[in-house]
Amino acid sequence: MQASATPSLASNATSQTPKNILLGVTGGIAAYKSAYLVRRLKDAGFAVRVVMTAGAQAFVTPLTFQALSGEPVHTSLLDPEAEAGMGHIELARWADLVLVAPASANAIARITAGAADDLLTTVILATAAPVFISPAMNQQMWQNQITQRNLQTLRDYQFHVIAPDSGSQACGDVGEGRMPEPEDLVAIVQGHFQGQTAIQSTAKTNGILEGKHVVITAGPTREALDPVRYVSNHSSGKMGFALAEACRDAGARVTLLAGPVSLPTPTGVERINIVSARDLLAASDKIVEAGCDVFIATAAVADYRAEHIADQKIKKQGDSLTLTLVKNPDIVATIAKHAKRPFMVGFAAETQRMEEYARGKLETKQLDMIACNDVSRGDIGFASDDNAMTVFFSDRFGLEKVILDKASKKEIAARLVECLVHAGA
């Protein structure tokens, strides 16, 4: 199986009549990308008209968008040049799809509140066309609970919220909140009209897990030694959180069982925090008993825990300390034997003989699929934003292994979702 690529931007081949895209541009530095987005939408065969907010005009002039779209740019709610001065109704009826890119935190809040105090918000209220929101803002604004609540409300109202990219931002911060590249947004628009999966730069997939409940474990566990010390590992949780986003984007309902990590909860994902391996097993068992379709075990669970946890801080005594450790429960193997067993996906982080150990775990733990990476490599794995994996399937599927070359963890996550579907999850 080959990894999906961004769909061709060559033409809008879904119909002889071009589809009408109304692009809403709000105030933010990412507005400069929207100029190129207009060009790429036109190249793909779409008819494009642009609505600009007052804030957007502080970053890019309307004349720029007029030159690129070949259409007048709309900025006024009651346009005297529009039919009966009701430009917002004309635009709302004209649009086959409304795309707001960039969508600032302020614009998102106003759309969520049902504001109709400028042309863009009024059109959104007046249109029957699908509305796609592409947030772009500072990473801290993106993580703010108010912003996340607003976005979830928009999803509940059947708006399409496009996840932002991560990376360096104009303010100097690094994190989520970057507007996706224009080519990626065009691919999403094309995918909507073609009724097929649209892939972003992070290889997000839409709809292929629709109706599924996916449970994902992520991050490390901490096994207490005393009130201030514990045994753990270097897992950052990034791979599991990326998978949660990819499964969500593929249409699944996602429950994330997260060990102690400092990562924001992906929008639209239910998060349950755990600490120890026994916490994780109890939470996993409860969810599987209630019913789920896929169980993805990315968590780096500590193999051992202290036999006895000291009530008080262990004081320094001599040059050595002897601890007695006992084996922790094997969570993925236990869930694989559950009476309500879901499709089981394991992860293996190895430093040597990777394929041998991965295939062994696949068989002994009775898994359906396992993804393995070589954590001895310094450029992937723990704490890195990149990964590379090899995926193996149970013999009963008759599938060859799939090699996922080095890419961002978001890209790898989306390709793992494809592997899930490939195996019939």
Confidence bin at 350 (pLDDT 50/70/90)? confident
Q: Is residue 159 predicted with pLDDT exceeding 60?
A: yes
Q: Where are the domains of the chain?
A: 20-194, 213-308+321-422
Q: Which CATH superfamily is domain 20-194 in?
A: Flavin prenyltransferase-like (3.40.50.1950)
Per DSSP, 275 falls in state: -
Question: How many CA atoms within 13 Å lie on the side-chain side of 60?
Answer: 29
Unique residue bearing structure tokens 């759309």: 111
Pairwise CA distance, residues 295 & 257, whole Å: 11
Evaluate whether 20-194 and 213-308+321-422 have a shared fold: yes
Q: Is residue 224 predicted with pLDDT exceeding 60?
A: yes
Nearest to 348 by CA among 330, 373, 368, 328: 373
Here the tokens at position 66 are: 């007029």
Of the listed ranges 53-67, 178-192, 374-388, the least confidently predicted one is 374-388
Assigned CATH for 213-308+321-422: 3.40.50.10300
Amino acid letter, 99: L
What is the residue-wise DSSP string for 169-214?
-TTS-EEEEEPPPHHHHHHHHHHHHHTS----TT----STTTT-EE
Confidence bin at 3 (pLDDT 50/70/90)? very low
Residues with a catalytic annotation lie at 171
Does the predicted model carry a pTM greater than 0.85?
no
Here the tokens at position 342 are: 């879901």
Here the tokens at position 178 are: 């970057």
Confidence bin at 199 (pLDDT 50/70/90)? very low
Pairwise CA distance, residues 249 & 265, whole Å: 14
